[in-house]
Amino acid sequence: MLYPAGWGSDKVQLYCGPDAAPYRAGLCSMGWAFYTAMGGTVLTFICAVFSAQAEIATSSDKVQEEIEEGKSLICLL
């Protein structure tokens, strides 16, 4: 949310035109790095959800006993 806050600066207005203001890009457009960063953030949260599900699946006493017996554990969602 803070990324476009600097668009009102003089340097940005020089490159993007006088219409550039915070949260208004003027003649400029968002680059691929911004969208890649947003995608990475979303994927990080998805990974957190998957790891929480794996923790729930392996936290029972029965599963712990099987791990101690040397059995391999495979988590499937």
User: In a 3-state reduction of DSSP, which class is residue 21?
Assistant: strand
34 within domain boundaries: yes
Residue 15 backbone dihedrals phi, psi, to 5 degrees = -80, -40
49 within domain boundaries: yes
42 within domain boundaries: yes
Summarised one tens digit per residue, pLDDT across range 28-55 is 887 888 899 999 999 999 999 888 877 7
For residue 73, the model assigns a pLDDT of: 66
> What's the pLDDT band for 67 if we cut at 50, 70, 90?
confident
User: Burial, 20: exposed, middle or buried (Cβ in 10 Å; 0-12, 13-18, 19+)?
Assistant: buried
> How many domains would you assign to the chain?
1
Residues facing residue 24 across a β-bridge: 21
pTM score above 0.75: no
| Cα–Cα distance measured from residue 12 to residue 28, given in angstroms and rounded to the nearest whole number | 9
- Domain with 48, as residue range(s), is 10-58
